[in-house]
Chains A and B, each alone.
Chain A
């Protein structure tokens, strides 16, 4: 089955700096890669996603890049703010089965 790895597990940045979280996946059949933000005790919220036919997608301060050949994708958050502090999960979905396999999570702390 699919194996998704995520790094780093924890990340601290100064407010205004950028944060980058990286994920790799194992199954080349994966074709959908969402990123979720989860605050303590709450449900994950989709923040951005990318399909395998696209190399990059941007939404305001958040961007995701995908390298299909290398089987890795990254989340980029620019101009970080304290409210960006949360746990971020990447995920990969294979074909029409559509179950998500999540990465191990990155706890992001933005220091004011």
Chain B
């Protein structure tokens, strides 16, 4: 089945530094990947849609200069949280859609717990 690998699973960084999170589709090509953010006991909020070879589409209220997304290949999308602050501490999770399209092939990564101190 479709497997999405996300790294790191946990990261602690100092305020003001940047953190890169990777999302890889291991056994399928993903033309589209989605990045979500989840605060404790809350729902998954879509941050942006990442399309291979083009600029990401950000949801309203998400700062594109703060959350840099790069989808350079059909198997890798990265989210970089720049100049992180404590309020950026959250659970970040990606999902990938198979290039074959349709309603199937949606798989979530295992998530990244970011703590900014």
The interface of chain A, by Cβ under 8 A from chain B, is 1, 6, 32, 34, 41-46, 49, 51, 89, 93, 96-105, 107
CB of B37 to closest CB in A, whole Å: 11
Q: How many residues of B contact A (CB 8 A)?
A: 23
**Which residue from B44, B103, B108 sits with its C-beta under 8 Å from A49?**
B103
Please measure, in the bound complex, the distance between the C-alpha atom of A105 and the C-alpha atom of B32, giving whole angstroms.
24
Which residues from chain A contact B25 at a C-beta distance below 8 Å? none
Give 1 or 0 for each of B89-117: 1 = CB within 8 Å of chain A CB: 00101010100010100101111010000
Do B110 and A42 touch across chains, with their CB atoms under 8 A apart? yes
- Count: A-B pairs, CB below 8 Å: 51
CB <8 Å contact, B103 and A32: yes
Asked if B34 lies at the interface with its beta carbon under 8 angstroms from chain A, I say: yes
Interface presence of B54 (CB below 8 A): no
Residues of chain A contacted by B95 (CB below 8 angstroms):
100
A32 to B105, CA, bound (A): 13
B residues near A, CB below 8 A? Answer: 32, 34, 36, 41-46, 49, 60, 91, 93, 95, 97, 101, 103, 106, 108-111, 113
Give CA–CA (A24, B9) in the complex, Å: 33
- Minimum distance in angstroms from B43 CB to a CB of chain A: 5
Let me know if A100 and B111 touch, CB within 8 A.
no
CB atoms of A43 and B93 under 8 A apart: yes
Closest to A2 in B: B46
